[in-house]
A and B are shown apart, each in its own frame.
Chain A
Amino acid sequence: MSTPFRTAEGGRIDRATTLQFTFDGRSLTGHPGDTLASALLASGQHQVATSIRLGRPRGISAAWAEDPGGLVQVEEPFPEPMLLASTVELFDGLVAHGLPGQGRLADVPDSARYDAVHHHVDVLVVGAGPAGLVAALGAARAGARVALVDEQSEAGGSLLSGTDRVDGVPALDWVADAVAELARHPEVLHLQRTTAFGVYDDGFVLALERRTDHLGAAAPRRVSRQRVWRIRARSIVVATGAHERPVVFADNDRPGIMLARAARTFLHRYGVLPGREAVVFTTNDSAYDAALDLARAGVQVQAVVDARPAGSPQRRAECERAGIRVLSGSVVTGTEGVERITSALVAPFTDGEVGAASVIPCDVLLVSGGWNPAVHLFSQARGRLRYDEVLGAFVPGEELDGLAVAGSAAGVLDLAGCLADGQRVVRAALSALAIVPAADDRLPSAPEPVVPAAPLVLWRVPDTSEAHARTQFVDLQRDATVADIARAVGAGLRSIEHVKRYTTIGTAHDQGKTSGVLTSGITAELLGIPVQDTGTTTFRPPYTPVAFAALAGRDRGRLFDPERVTALHDWHVAAGAVFEDVGQWKRPRYYPQPGEDMETAVLRECAAARTGVGIIDGSTLGKIDVQGPDAAVLLDRLYTNMMSSLKVGAVRYGVMCGVDGMVIDDGTVLRLAEDRFLVLTTTGGAAKVLDWMEEWVQTEWPDLRVHCTSVTEQWATFPVVGPRSRDVVGTLFPDVDVSTEAFPFMTWRDTALDGVPVRLARISFSGELAFEVHVSPWYAVAVWQRLLEAGRPYGITPYGTETMHVLRAEKGYPIIGQDTDGTVTPHDLGMAWAVSKKKPDFIGKRSFARPANQDPRRKQLVGLLPVDRHTLLPEGSQIVEFVADGELPPPPVPMLGHVTSSYRSAELARPFALALVKGGRERVGDTVHVPVNGTLVPVEVTGSVLVDPEGARRDG
């Protein structure tokens, strides 16, 4: 429970409130404002886990997302793997443990909500550090629509880690004022805990906002836990700061070794000392701040080890005043300790030669090898990077349209410079958008920077020992070392992309934030080529890991895919329908009565339609209004058969083919007027056929005076089917003469029901006498109920898609897309009669003359009757030649075709099937075999029409 490394005062934590949490089974405490990492360090714990391959102890080595070491698994409140202790905000009741590289997904559904929001701005600023805040203020003051996103829990960026002053006041006071001012601008969206993780074309940026993660179990359930912001920005300012870079040396992975800036962050932001005795190893001036700050906070700074021969004269003087020893021209060559560093090995470093090492005891070793600008988003936007010899880092190497980099992300490493750069960059962005900066947009002041001594670029401490190379870690998470890079180079790999994949460096959760540039540098060194030529691996989204749950957002459960329903849906539900998904439509498949399974329900429904009367909701049928003087011309070109000869009042079945002559859709066409047709398509083909029509009208035949309009949902459609359908329709619509003579097959009549227009059509998809009733869906429920009332004396039976399929299959009516597969012609379906020989041309016609189309061995639609009269052939079953001994010969067994539809028939009192069979029509009467569950089932090939082949029933 003790936190011996917590400072007495300071930091951005709420010391008045204590939070309880459990790590690796230990009960610990922290405060609001802590991360899991800072709370662990406060208790004196550096080690978080052991490494994935070598099992070496690993600890917290950075204070944010660049940490390669501190991976944890959260268990409570909800299991989540692969989080970083340094980015998990502490909350009461957190239970977590360290992870050796691999976590465990929750085995229960995530009950948290996730969502997404689209947002549009003139200027998006990524990063609320000094440059980003100045940029956001400049854009906001100009009246622009602005979004400012920053991944930390509060604004300030690098200012949170130090003791800087801006405008003569503590920097964080200035930050607070800036944040308050932004909040007053109505067109500013300021989001903290929000990581811009991907930049895409045309100013599109994805950002992940962690809205309630930090609240733990107290998170409000109705608020999304995380939100993906889909931001479209006219201009993007990337002010993402820089990552400190380590230097590689032997045994550089022990707990207690961390980046110098991270130590300042833990001290100033969290009020935590990283240890009692520190050694600071640096190649540049910035780490001196860590040494001086820690010394002031009471840490014994044993030495600053500066690799530069002359070190930094001015910083050396500061250190001497503070009583800190500075060893210039020295490097750390190794460390000692197991679960925690106990000492650093320090040796003179002259002209690239490392001398004999001496031992300096310490419990923390701070390292700084310079700074890598966080160019990730710039690079994702395809910005070219340039290697800066002085910084030893890659910086933006060109100007991009609509995206500019400001502050340390552009390689500006001093505060005054970052503030000025933020203003310069946003003004350029505003200017490109023709937005005038406000007159009161003032640049805040910061102390004139002391010019730092030139940094030294040092990727790794020279070491000729092969054994040492195996503990010179480059990517701590992957346990990948200098020896691994050497092996990659030795194997002949020169491309940094290949080295990455060979060594796996940069492929862990941190995506190489600390190891990437090191790898470029060390590879260049080993190859003896300039670092610029090595380059970096490609930066790809996401910048930090994003949970799939966040990307899925609200598109899950019932909202995963829209459920389309007809006007009768609630009636179907109340009637106990079992639904089937047909595309996005929910269609009743059958209506089981108590005790019925699908088979019995369907047999009952089929019998009703064949012997009495049935009714089905066919409203999902696609419907297209084709109107204009050239409507008939268009349909003649689209259908294989003639439509222009159709009389007003009549209906014709038609088949549509693609340019390859293969059937793409079928349906009926009603001629409503000389210049107007109603085209009925399959349920699934509705949108496709309308697009098809538009494509031809718009691109090939713009001269045709015709318009096509979807009316699928303008008409509810109820086929009333069966020998008693005439009685039902005649009862409900007494003013229509429903006799065969007055209302023949394939005609339609308009009528009305209580003043509401109704269209009746004698169309049959079952072979039975049938009337389609078309009415506006506004009145669908009322008309459906009236039909049921009128049909009650005849036992009218609602039926679903399964019965519809059986009835049509018994008549050999194909379903396009089930009995066809894009390689089937009308002739293959036995529909040569539906292919006009008179029309000069229509889509698909030329293909019918191809020799392949004339081949008598083409697969043709036939019926199949299992000889045993009881086997239901599984749809998709293969069909093979009859084998006398009933044993399937060894493969390959030539395939004759496959079963496309298969049902039990009430009418035939046996199962039957439709199938595509090679030369099928020639084989009618033959017996073939269908392997079913390892047994060869003999089936008889028949014509495709199994019920009422004479068509005697269609008129009742």
Chain B
Amino acid sequence: MGSILYRISGNPTAKALILLSPTIIYLAVFIAYPIVDSFRIAFMSEDGTITLESLDFLLSSPLSEFWDALRYTFLLAALVVPVETALALVAVIVLFKRFRGRDAVVYILAIPLALSDVAAGLIWYAMLTGKGFLNKLLIDLGLIDTPIQFFGYANKELTLLAIFLAEVWRSSAIVFIILFAGAQLINKEVLEAAEVFGASFYVRLRHILIPMLKPSLQAALIIRTLFAFQVFAVVWILAGRDIPVLAGEAYYSITELHRYDVAAVYAIIIAVISALLGLVYIRLFRETLRR
């Protein structure tokens, strides 16, 4: 390898290509090929002709919950991402100054990061079910007489609330860790300077700390928004198809309907939404990225 690089050192383009080749090969095999192949699965019939039958099924079959899935996926993303970002930001602000026990609090806040989303869904199911911890507590405290039913088709709003809580709990941790890491890089003197020059706590947050956290906030938002559109396991455990989401419908199409073509269309739709949102974020953040 060294000798090849040495020989072509006069040609920067060739050198760059060689150095990038592992990445290019990786992207080709694990990203480009599956995307191309999913289009083939979605829109090519067995005899090799192009067909839109899968799309037709998705949009008009009584078995399809596409529009609801789209609506709920967007709704969940729109609820979960801002709330968890705000919560994580509050935690970072509270934990900005060193105090006794701070490290312990950081570790505890990071615990959900280590749990699989299935486990997270099960924990919240166990907690919120009719005989679960929450209902027992409320009954023992005398606040309610009969358990609150979070689950079942008749309780869609409460099921949605349960999913929202579980998702916020599960994924606030990653946002927190990203923001906390970003905050560690901020020189404490920068905030002390603002304090000496007369800035109140609010002004220091609004004009110093949060603007300086902007790169971390952007990274966390991009990661979380994209992942929010892949929401699946927590929803599947807590709601099944009572609350349909895009990734859940893809899974259902394969396992129950054996419609690989429909599942592929769902995959493509999720990919397209992710790509578009990625573009929007990059546009929005371009100014700071340049700096």
Do the two chains bind?
no
Interface residues of B, Cβ cutoff 8 Å to A:
none
